[in-house]
Structure 1
């Protein structure tokens, strides 16, 4: 198995978040796809109530479940601060590939703000000459995978990135708006731990993705690529345990970190996605290197490091006999 490393936001090379036609490409290369649901949000200050200003960026405050009050842009996208930047004096260090994943909030004129102390709002000149908005001296950014109101996936990417509060401070996970509650789990849910996505070679299949225990990971074609939802609950999730996560995800060096994401399941937990597909392990894989779930029900397939399903025509060399049912989707 390849050595794993923490996901470094500065190394992610994504330009937007959406559906692509070619499997194995970055699934976030264009706009328009349905995005994963992340942290719930209740917008306190609708963008329409902020005074308009030609050429000006607008900031609003919003309450994000689990984070409390944070800043967002006029479209409701959560704003973030970067630990490697400086506030005194203001300096932006996220450029190049980093800025593709974390687009800086730029403005042609002093930014307008609602629910924010105007004295905290400023700007800094970026290396490319653009003027970036600062809050409390900190340059602020969006996250490329946050493509709608309430998405705050950037909060968990690495210790260097955090949502920013109206005071310019880091938002702290664990704060709650008190207005949202998760639905009852449809299957037993234990504490989710930080996950490691690795790779291993399985006889007959080639390299496949694995979890930190070395177990093969699978996608379920009924979920749909980039759907932002998992359709495997109840008995299905007992046979195919979803790869849950509540912290940082680390990935093997052979895996493009831009393929890694997460969605919120119906029970309120977060599930890892790869290439836009929610991923699962298989309860009938008894040891690392097994892939007994590949091809089950013609709907379950091992996942390549590219985020694609392994060719259905391939079969593991030592596959156990597994009863399948196309009508049940192989549960």
Structure 2
């Protein structure tokens, strides 16, 4: 992506003068060169790209579309800190000084631009050469010395925690799978298969994150010329129905798809099934119920997402337990679902931060006999509101 520079740098009287060219910027800002940050060229797995004075990789944001403005503030700027300068930015070897410029952020600070694009760090890059921010959300890219964006994909294979233990996951955190019908270092999954099981692709040598054995990482060429990542000779894939990190919906599909452990072996045991929370119609209206139709309750003495109901209390109010990520039925907000660890180590389902329970006195689906018991037990609706 190319844009004209926001500022033109010229030398005047020992100072670098940034002649601002953006809309409404007729004035010129004279900045002390001695206070400027140096933009350099650094070597990374993606090739030579722009880096900051600390050697860490710099990125551009494709949503920065208005000349002279950054679209990255608040939480975005925490994750993607802007490259700030107090003076005219300095071009290191290989950097084109004519492409350097600055913009003024809403807090009055000056952010460095290159070829008109504001420059940022990625908070998860820890050392020079890291490029963990590449392709994040499809809108963040490293910058070539000529001012163009470098859109190459780099696959980072990581270890993720799941109900099956630690398994390989992709750069997006989603679970990776191996196909038992593949040959060593050769994929047999194409067309409709590849639509359901997208291969993990890379344009450059894949990176092994913590816990991944770099010696087991490799690549194989697919028939369309793209490069697929392998691990211990097994091509790696996503499952189209996995939506969030920790999902294992592809495990055991047709008896040939399995997750991969960091040691390079597949895990073939079935994935635990998460408890399902649904909506049920009762005399109290539409409320949360379990998959068996039994009413679910919340305890007003619970706090901070933790259960205060044990022993005799738990005998009367059995917690809704799960062995895996809880599932949302129709009408249930999956973002409100979660788990809390009980004292015995078991996982209890929570909704909107409140642990869920059954009432021993409910005998059939639709019963709400636990409502308002002792003035502290109530049902909850799909919005996460306590129904009193």
Provide TM-score, normalisation by structure 2.
0.43
The structure whose residues are more often strand, as a share, is: 2
Between 1 and 2, higher relative CO (CA 8 Å, sep ≥ 6) is seen in: 1
